[in-house]
Structure 1
Amino acid sequence: MKNKFFKAVLAFCVLSASLNSNAALIVDGVEVEALEINESLESFYNFSSSNYSANTGYELANQLVGFFATDSTDTLGLYLIFGGPGSDAGNVNFDLSANDGEIIYVDDPNAATRSDTVLATSTGYSVDFIYGANRTDGLIFSNFTGDVWDFALSFNETLGIDSFSFLTFDDSGVDSVAVFSDVVDNISISSVSSAPNSPIAVSAPTTLMILALSLSCIFASRRKLS
């Protein structure tokens, strides 16, 4: 009976540890962290009809800027924003392949005036953005149903875009560039259970796990004394 109890406690510890582990977000082989926001993914995009642009604060002239964010409901979203203040007019055409998730928002939501084309394909989407100088185009990709998925961008046209930056964020929300390239052609993004040479972040032990460990230690010490 004692032996069964001890095994049960150990199993509970292992289960608690596994439930508290997080999948890693990988961009071109580099692990990145998401920004935590206290609003919806769409409202943070902050599209304005006065400048026909995203206004997240991370837009960069003549660049594709990508980053992850988790909203107030802990929903993960991928932001891809082309151009910004000081940008040249642009035309970007790319294929987006993904085995999970979907586009939930496209820049300039007025379909009657937007010249963008976003078509669903058998593997994802075919996207064509056309935007003016000092403006942006972009999208939010979200609604992931699983923790492990693959996502890829393959570019056919990048007029007005000469580089790519993907941001990561620390615990205070301070951003830094995790991936940079002055060649915009193929980009690989994924969520994996473990990253090569990069440990997965594991949350601090929960109260229940600490209790289970304490019980196992007490039981082990009593067993030695008996």
Structure 2
Amino acid sequence: MTLFRGLQFLTTVNDLSALPHEGLEVAFAGRSNAGKSSAINTLANHTRLAFVSKTPGRTQHINYFDFGKERRLVDLPGYGYAEVPANVRAHWEKLLSFYLVNRDNLIGLVLIMDARRPLTERDRRMLDWFLPTGKPVHCLLTKSDKLSKQEQIKTLRTVEAEFEGDPRVTVQLFSSLKKQGVERTEEVVGAWFDAMKAATPQDGNETGDVESTDGA
């Protein structure tokens, strides 16, 4: 598959009222410095499509990328940042939670977690916001090349055990350096879009959008 290979930057927003009205979206979220931008670049086979900041928490906007057929990849602001002002952190968390819970266009979440430190408190908070929507989550355990094979297997099994019995959540190892896990990610996310297409009448139903009454 080459689902992400035609990915192109579309727009960036910092207010929920400015989100695009059309299209179906898959959001990528993760703790700052967990490798989210690197993962997006690897999936797209593009070295600088998503900005890789050396300062965790630098990316403060919601960035939209388009890969055709009204399909969008949404790069959400990193969380877990320690070096940003409290009011900025509060703004981001409000924006993220409202987007994840209320965005009708959103069909699934790809949660990026450093394989060496998965399921942090803020990772769990993201899941607490999103899982009640009933939409699927795919966990990418990034930087897996930094673990031994034995450690990789142990980490994968530990995270999978957290969601045992929940068919909405899938987990895999991923390495941007080794290009590990690209095909599996394409298969999972591609299936989400295929399922939505199959469930949508041929005459089409408009997807909803989120409006912010206070500028988020």
With the shorter chain as reference, the TM-score category is under 0.3
**Higher Cα Rg: structure 1 or 2?**
1
Structure with the largest fraction of helix: 2
Q: Please, what TM-score do these two structures have when normalized by structure 2?
A: 0.28
